[in-house]
Amino acid sequence: MDNTALTPAARLAEVRANIAKVCKPARREPADITLIAVSKTHPAERIEPLIAAGQRVFGENRVQEAQAKWPALRAAYPDLELHLIGQLQSNKAEEAVALFDCIHALDRPNLLTALAKAMAKLAKPVPCFVQVNIGDEPQKGGCALADLPAFLEAVRASGIPLAGLMCIPPADIEPAPFFALLAKLAADHGLTGLSMGMSGDYETAVMLGATHVRVGSALFGARA
């Protein structure tokens, strides 16, 4: 649905209403779902109307881009929460730990080592979701399904707070089976956090147990 004519406040209200609507049949509480407004590529002046409308949790893809715009925004609005939802290079681990409140793309041993070291150095434990390559796609980041049990064990042993599992299903395929698989994997490993669902499929994700949905264009309007 094209909602580009709507104000940011109206788009936010619409997404929240959609989440509340699907919570009913799923017997869930809307308050249990964290809506992450994906602000990547959008300047501060596009972000501030959503903050004014009450949105407090935002997601960025790149450390460098976030460093350029978020320190000033967070100084102005100290109660904001910032999540890193894109791939993270190990050499940016310390910068990511310093800037973000949650990291959604922990997916390999060398990044685990770098993050654990950075968190110890900065004395700042940052909750991390383990990204799972749910569709077994070679071009995508994420821990392979076969490697997941051992990797989760390593994350737990490292002392990094384990928030749950995250996935990005293959494009142009019905996402529901992938969301259901991620929910099953989380349950099998005693995890409750599920970061899944984006603008096109967040309602399906909520139906299937998402605790965090990462919504960009439905909140900011379609990209130019």
Domain presence at residue 67: yes
Residue at 1 is within a domain: no
Q: Which two tokens stand for residue 10?
A: 């109206």
What total of structural domains would you count in the chain? 1
What is the domain range of residue 93? Answer: 8-220
Structure tokens, 141: 């980041």
Kindly report the CATH number assigned to the domain that includes residue 203.
3.20.20.10
Whether 25 is covered by a domain: the verdict is yes
Residue 104 lies in a domain: yes
Query: Is position 113 within any domain?
Result: yes
* 214 falls within a domain: yes
Residue 119: inside a domain: yes
Per-residue pLDDT of the chain (224 residues; tens, 9 = 90+): 556 678 999 999 999 999 999 999 999 999 999 999 999 999 999 999 999 999 999 999 999 999 999 999 999 999 999 999 999 999 999 999 999 999 999 999 999 999 999 999 999 999 999 999 999 998 889 999 999 999 999 999 999 999 999 999 999 999 999 999 999 999 999 999 999 999 999 999 999 999 999 999 999 987 65
pLDDT at 3: 65
Residue 3 domain-assigned?
no
pTM: 0.96
Q: Please count the other Cβ atoms lying within 10 Å of the Cβ belonging to residue 14.
A: 15
